[in-house]
Structure 1
Amino acid sequence: MLRDFYMDNDFRKTWDKTLAMYGQLQVDKGSGTEIGWMVKKFPLMTPREYVLAWKVWEGNDGSFYCYSKECEHPLIHRQKKYARVALFRSGWRIKAVSGRNACEIKMVHQEDSGMNVEIAKLAFAKGIWNYICKMHSAFRNYSTARRSPLTAGVSAVTLIQKVPTELDAISSTANTMPPGTSTSRDHLNPGLPPHETFVKKLPSKQSIKLLKNAFLIIGGAICLSRGHSNLGVKVAMVCILGKLTKRSASRSKSQERGGIHSQDSRGLLEDLATY
């Protein structure tokens, strides 16, 4: 019942006021894929046009899956009065809840309708609860309100196929995996401790400051050497390199003793100023 309610676009027009038009374009009986066209209207915006292809599968446990995506069709040409949605990916799974007269619905949705992100967030936050309430009321009336069953014509529901065996086995394994079971990460990296987070040790502020000063010194030296080639500059370059070598050696020794010369970079800059 819930599967038919989700897939019945003709009935959707009676309760979903955003759905202005809908039409079936093509059904591939071999693959069970259905292609449809719909127009949705939004306040103060150009109506959005959708050309979608979707397919429905049934799992061995009685669950249902549906996946929809955007496509092109020769019967539908672009019109200026509509904004064609270029990116639409949506999927859902309906599964019965064991021990209860209820169903679990999981949905993944991605859509780029050309709407401003902030406006889209605001519209979703303000309108989603009202939309869910309308959907709930419509579903309660669905069994008595529809005049003909959804299976009367050829559609993705009548051409429903079974989930491929290998995919159904993966899904069943993932749902029944007990806590503490090893994952693919454990097999790919057997030497790593399980569930351990490795964080790279970031350099200290002092190290970053020294690195910046070193780049500044080297850059200035390169500019001087390329701008002047007289003997005085060459001598200055030799002295600078000597200073850098000596201070690097002294810094290494001080770090081994546990101390840090905080004035190294300042001293280097002062030495440069003398040349």
Structure 2
Amino acid sequence: MALVSAFLEIFQRPSLVDVLGELVIFVAPLWIAVIVGVLVGWAWKPEWVSLVGRDSSVSKQESSSSSPTTSSTCFASIPSLHSLKFPFSWASDDEVHKGALPPALDSDISSSQLEQEKSTLVTQQDLQHICRLVEENDGGPAWIQMMDRSTPTMSYRAWRRDPVTGPPQYRSSTVFEDATPELVRDFFWDDEFRLKWDDMLIHASILEECPTTGTMVVHWVRKFPFFCSDREYLIGRRIWESGRSYYCVTKGVPCSSVPRRNKPRRVDLYYSSWCIRAVESKRGNGQLTACEVLLFHHEDMGIPWEIAKLGVRQGMWGAVQKIDPGLRAYQKQRASGVALSRCAFMAQINTKVSADYLRSVENASDDSIEVEKLDSSEKPLGRNIPKLLIVSGAVVLACSLDRGLLTKAVIFGVARRFAKIGRRL
């Protein structure tokens, strides 16, 4: 109503010159914001725009080491945000790129070179890092709670933090009732079964494996919604066992046997790791009949991070809800005596570590991590203005690139942000 009243006052001016002058004064700030947003948007990440026509032929190689600023976040399956499903997806399984399957090993790659690669892919340092993440003393920024949902057989909480460098990081706690840590460990490792419940995973294969440590290198291709092409992952993974707690590390690794191609686009920076352990049931009977999965996930998908955060927030719970039915189906399959898949078999080859060693790792850093609730009323409005300009630029770019569901999805997300800012004002 205030906007209508303002317009009525403008058109009641005595002359046309006065009306035009008032309109210019009224509209000029909006156009300035849009222009600045466009400039910031183009300066922000011009490379992703090329995804509409073609993917960049060469991606910048990034390290996926376990440093505090680049390790710990997004959704490998949600428990992970890696099962991240944006709310507007129309691609079908029939649209999978025919060239998505991994090529045969290059003949000039020696077996000794491959063995050397495997021995340094997932190391004791990765175990130390996930231990610090679990104990919240990795020295990273504060976690901001963003979700707390539950069903009769599952509860889910999620947090996010934004490091100084690198993509947003996500942490989640998923508790499954009437499930053992061993079964849940096998469930998340079993790529063959994952293809049945994770509708974003369209290809999974084992490239390398170590029968001694259980280390594996797997090749994934995931289907992405919107204007994005499929994404390719080369993942190194390994499990450490301490009692009935399992520290499962998965991260992006180099692999000389799979050459880089234009499509699907390779994701180099990828980290998704779990701590799986038995916990007391929420029924309050004192029995450790439930299983908690603590997930730490992040990845650089080649999408502007502000846009990715909007999609994650909108699609997170829908993706998480698909995990519990998948787990229950897996329980029934295992109870029926079906033979283990190769991945599930490898999940049972764990490196054992003592509780004393884990305590020594946890105590190595005494920087406690503050966990804070998301309270928008405490955030200064001034910090939101640059984000507003950036998002407005992204909207303009989206409108210029796509006239369909992409535009609607982005505008919907931005409108939600405008509404929140309006409420603070």
TM-score tier (shorter): 0.5 to 0.7
What is the aligned partner in structure 2 of residue 116 from structure 1?
A: 304
Superposition TM-score, scaled by structure 1 size = 0.58
Change (3 A) 1:158 1:95: closer
State the match for 2:328 in structure 1. 140
Q: Which residue does the alignment assign to 1:160? A: 350
Q: For the residues of structure 2 that align with 1:65 and 1:26, how far apart are their CA atoms?
A: 20
SS in 2 for 1:92: strand
What is the alpha-carbon root mean square deviation over aligned residues? 2.5
Provide the residue aligned with 1:131 in structure 2: 319
Name the CA shift for 1:143/1:25 in 2 (closer, same or farther; >3 Å): same
Deviations 1:136-187 (A, max 9, x none): 111111122467343667854132121256533437889xxxxxxxx958xx
5+ residue gaps, structure 2? 1-182, 281-285, 368-425
User: 1:57 aligned to 230, 240, 256, which one?
Assistant: 240
Please, what TM-score do these two structures have when normalized by structure 2?
Answer: 0.38
| Percent identity between the two aligned chains | 33
Equivalent-residue separation in structure 1 for 2:357 and 2:201 (angstroms): 34
Q: Structure 1 residues 64 and 55, CA, compared in 2 at 3 Å: closer, same or farther?
A: same
Distance 1:39 1:32 in 2: 22
Measured after TM superposition, the shift of residue 14 of structure 1 is 0.6
Q: For 1:96 and 1:123, locate their aligned partners in 2 and report how far apart those are by CA, in whole Å.
A: 31
Name the structure 1 match of 2:251.
Answer: 69
> Does structure 2 conserve the Cα–Cα contact (< 8 Å) formed by 1:27 and 1:155?
no
1:19-61 deviation per Cα after TM superposition (whole angstroms, max 9, x unaligned): 010000010223321110000011121111000100011112x
**What secondary structure does 2:322 align onto?**
helix
Equivalence for 1:47 = 230
Q: Which runs of 5+ in 1 are unaligned?
A: 175-182, 186-275
Matches within 5 A, 1:221-232: none
The residue number in structure 2 matching 1:247 is: none
Is 1:106–2:288 an aligned residue pair?
no
Q: Is the 8 A contact 1:70 1:88 kept in 2?
A: yes
> Structure 1 residues 152 and 39, CA, compared in 2 at 3 Å: closer, same or farther?
closer
Determine the C-alpha separation between the residues in 1 that align with 2:342 and 2:236: 20
Match status 1:15 vs 2:197: yes
Instruction: Identify the structure with bigger relative contact order (alpha carbons < 8 Å, sequence gap 6+).
Output: 2
Count of residue correspondences: 176
Assess if the C-alpha contact under 8 Å between 1:151 and 1:157 holds in 2: no
| Counterparts of 1:136 and 1:39, CA distance in 2 | 23
Q: d(CA) in 2 for partners of 1:155 and 1:34? A: 12
